[in-house]
Amino acid sequence: MKDAMKKYFSLRKEYYDKGLDFLFKTFYNEDVESFIFYGEVDEEEEISWKPIEKDVKSDLQPIEQKFDINFHLSIVSYFNSYWFADLDGFIDNHYIKLESVLPNIELNSFESNLEGYKSNHHNKIDRIPIGIEGNGLIVVLDNITGKVELEDFERGTFKLISNSLDDLISCLRMEK
């Protein structure tokens, strides 16, 4: 996972170096520990950020216990590789935005999304929501196989987009 993320952030940096400075800007959140931020908050309330390899582990066990589930290893690895504000891009014709991993609040959004997903799926969690697609589809990870799919909740359908979270991150492009 760390290799896939390192490759992704390197690609993101290439585009940043070409003038797309928004790729490393995010809205300032005072609840986030500031070590991933640099510079000053601008007039749009945004601040620059940098991905930082994690040297501490996020404990997902309380969430696993709360939902009576054991997460696929790729989920644990995802939340324990890097601190970052954004991980998004294109695969095929889909814009994909994955969960942020921000210091001090890294699991808050994930847990909240998991709660909503569970309640919308008859209290069943066989897939783990890990992001969103540009047209509102949910990016989910099959908790048994580790395959990544797009879920159309209204239609009750799933479309395979990657055989693993590592592969998905490795294949993300910065432009369509």
Please name the residue that has the structure tokens 């501490």. Answer: 56
Give the whole-angstrom CA distance, residue 138 versus residue 102: 21
CA distances from 104 to 22, 29, 107, 163, 170 (A): 23, 11, 8, 30, 26
- pTM for this model (two decimals): 0.94
For the CA atoms of 167, 12, 105, 52, what is the dihedral angle to 10 degrees? 100
Per residue in 23-54, pLDDT tens? 999 999 999 999 999 999 999 999 999 999 99
Is the model's pLDDT at 58 over the cut of 90?
yes
Q: What is the pLDDT of residues 112-165, one digit of tens each?
A: 999 999 999 999 899 999 999 999 999 999 999 999 999 999 999 999 999 999
